[in-house]
């Protein structure tokens, strides 16, 4: 993929790799941590932890329901448990277990869903988690994270392990552009402003953050200065950052590699409508499953591009002027 090429973003590692390496590296300082796998540790990268700490790595086979509840049992007995699978299988197959074994008792389980979004490409829609953020946000008390690049995935993995209680983190398969410095210091619930601007705000998560930066560059050439926010924490969402963005720029576009129903856009809209109404545009999957194909072409076909963000931004800026 060539996301961010035009603005000179360097391609970095995949967020799943960064997560897996961070988890392994944190294993020594977190002796209480256990990892439960459902036969996809080489995909989610929890295998790296398993190789380093085989006595704290449990392989329960292709059985996501059992995997999540076993992780909950560890947590209820005083351990911190990380369990990971493809976002689609983890959050859809084991939703009830996440709700009842983890969410309701507020068990100290960290759920990591990899291969999220449509950028996994050729494997097709059965493998693409496009509703995970919505599902996980609908569990009361769940913290929901969606890192944009490798550095932020490393940082958020560490932050996640500092918390006590249920957390969901989304990771992706492809290499993604670097948008944060190597030593970035993100805080859960505090959005990262990556670019300042006063005409419109682009709020994105995951892969779409790099696209938003690219869109901001295009808009700047047109004389529209866009603020770009990495909303790496969807829940609890950064209300202050959204309010300020709405008050100071007067127009907002959200961008996510996820269904529009219940995703980042709807969460931001809820805050905007209540705190400081502004015209909004949305980039995301619109009421459809995707299909097999090369990631670049899929992102194009389903409108997850910098170009679409630019179009939405032009639209909301025009509506803003119209209102004035």
Partner 1 sequence: MVTASYGSLNIGALEAIRRRLAISSIRATTKAGSGHPSTCLSASHLVTALYFGGVMHYDPSRPDWPERDRFVLSKGHGAPIQYAALHEAGVIDLDPMTLRELGSPLEGHPNARKVAGVEASTGSLGQGLSIALGMALAARLDGHDSRVFALLGDGELDEGQVWEAAMAAAKYDVDTLVAIVDRNGYQQMGNAHEIMPLDPLSPKWEAFGWRAIEIDGHDWPLVLGALKKAREKSGKPTVVIAHTQKGHGVTRILEDPGNKFHGVPLKPDEAEIAIQEIEGA
Among 25, 66, 239, 315, binds partner 1 (CB under 8 A): 66
Among 10, 51, 96, 123, binds partner 1 (CB under 8 A): 96
Q: Are 213 and 195 in contact (CB under 8 A)?
A: yes
Q: Residues 21, 51, 64, 162: which is the catalytic one?
A: 64
Is 65 an interacting residue with respect to partner 1 (CB under 8 A)? yes
Q: How far apart are CA 206 and CA 24, in angstroms?
A: 22
Q: Which residues pair with 281 in a beta bridge?
A: 253
Burial grade of 29 (CB within 10 A; 0-12, 13-18, 19 or more) = exposed
Q: How far is the CB of 161 from partner 1 (least distance, A)?
A: 17
Please say which residue, 66 or 138, places its beta carbon nearer to partner 1. Answer: 66
Q: How far apart are CA 147 and CA 45, in angstroms?
A: 16
What is each CA distance from 183 to 156, 192, 208, 306, in whole angstroms?
12, 14, 21, 26
- Provide the edge-to-edge strand list for the sheet that holds 252-259: 192-195, 226-230, 200-204, 252-259, 280-285
Please say which residue, 58 or 289, places its beta carbon nearer to partner 1. Answer: 58
Among 2, 8, 55, 324, binds partner 1 (CB under 8 A): 55
Residues in region 108-167 near partner 1 by CB under 8 A: none
Is 249 an interacting residue with respect to partner 1 (CB under 8 A)? no
Is 92 an interacting residue with respect to partner 1 (CB under 8 A)? no
| Torsions phi, psi for 165 (to 5 deg) | 135, 180
Antiparallel, parallel or unpaired: β 192-195 and 175-177 = unpaired
Is 52 an interacting residue with respect to partner 1 (CB under 8 A)? no
Is 302 an interacting residue with respect to partner 1 (CB under 8 A)? no
Q: What is the DSSP string of 14-41?
A: EHHHHHHHHHHHHTTT-TTEEEEE-S-H
Q: How far is the CB of 245 from partner 1 (least distance, A)?
A: 36
> Which pair of structure tokens corresponds to residue 92?
């859809």
Is 54 an interacting residue with respect to partner 1 (CB under 8 A)? no
Is 46 an interacting residue with respect to partner 1 (CB under 8 A)? no
Is 69 an interacting residue with respect to partner 1 (CB under 8 A)? yes
Residue 64 annotated to the active site: yes
Q: How far is the CB of 84 from partner 1 (least distance, A)?
A: 15
Per-residue burial over 116-155, b if 16 or more Cβ lie within 10 Å, else e, is: bbbbbbeeeeebbbbbbbbbbbebeebbbbbbbbbbbbbb
Q: Given the structure tokens 């670019």, which residue do they identify?
A: 195
Count residues near partner 1 (CB under 8 A). Answer: 31
Stretch of residues binding partner 1 (CB under 8 A), selected from 92-100, 275-283, 284-292, 294-302: 92-100
| Torsions phi, psi for 15 (to 5 deg) | -65, -30
C-alpha dihedral, 99 to 25 to 172 to 60, nearest 10°: -50
Please say which residue, 65 or 300, places its beta carbon nearer to partner 1. Answer: 65
Is 45 an interacting residue with respect to partner 1 (CB under 8 A)? no
Among 1, 11, 13, 58, binds partner 1 (CB under 8 A): 58
Please say which residue, 5 or 96, places its beta carbon nearer to partner 1. Answer: 96
Positions that interact with partner 1 (CB under 8 A): 34, 36, 55-56, 58, 60-61, 63, 65-66, 68-79, 81, 96-97, 99-101, 104-106
Active site residue ranges: 64
């Amino acid at each position: 993929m060539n996301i961010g090429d035009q603005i000179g973003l360097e391609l970095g590692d995949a967020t799943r790799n960064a997560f897996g390496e961070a988890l392994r590296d944190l294993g020594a300082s977190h002796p209480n941590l256990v990892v439960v796998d459902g036969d996809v540790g080489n995909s989610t990268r929890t295998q790296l932890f398993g190789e380093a700490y085989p006595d704290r790595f449990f392989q329960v086979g292709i059985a996501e329901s059992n995997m999540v509840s076993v992780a909950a049992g560890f947590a209820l007995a005083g351990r911190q448990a990380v369990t990971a699978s493809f976002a689609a299988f983890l959050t859809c197959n084991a939703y009830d277990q996440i709700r009842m074994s983890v969410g309701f008792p507020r068990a100290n389980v960290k759920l990591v869903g990899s291969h999220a979004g449509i950028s996994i490409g050729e494997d097709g829609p059965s493998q693409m988690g496009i509703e995970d953020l919505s599902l996980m946000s609908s569990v009361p008390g769940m913290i929901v994270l969606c890192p944009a690049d490798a550095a932020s995935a490393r940082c958020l993995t560490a932050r996640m392990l500092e918390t006590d209680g249920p957390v969901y983190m989304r990771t992706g398969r492809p290499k993604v552009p670097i948008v944060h410095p190597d030593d970035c210091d993100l805080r859960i619930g505090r959005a990262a402003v990556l670019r300042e601007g006063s005409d419109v705000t682009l709020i994105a998560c995951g892969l779409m953050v790099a696209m938003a930066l690219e869109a901001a560059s295009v808009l700047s050439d047109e004389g529209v200065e866009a603020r770009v926010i990495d909303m790496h924490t969807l829940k609890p969402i950064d209300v202050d950052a959204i309010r300020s963005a709405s008050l100071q720029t007067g127009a907002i576009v959200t961008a996510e590699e996820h269904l529009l129903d219940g995703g980042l856009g709807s969460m931001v809209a809820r805050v905007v409508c209540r705190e400081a109404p502004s015209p909004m545009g949305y980039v995301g999957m619109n009421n459809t499953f995707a299909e097999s194909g090369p990631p670049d072409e899929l992102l194009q076909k389903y409108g997850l591009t910098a170009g679409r963000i630019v179009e939405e931004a032009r639209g909301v800026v025009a509506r803003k002027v119209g209102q004035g």
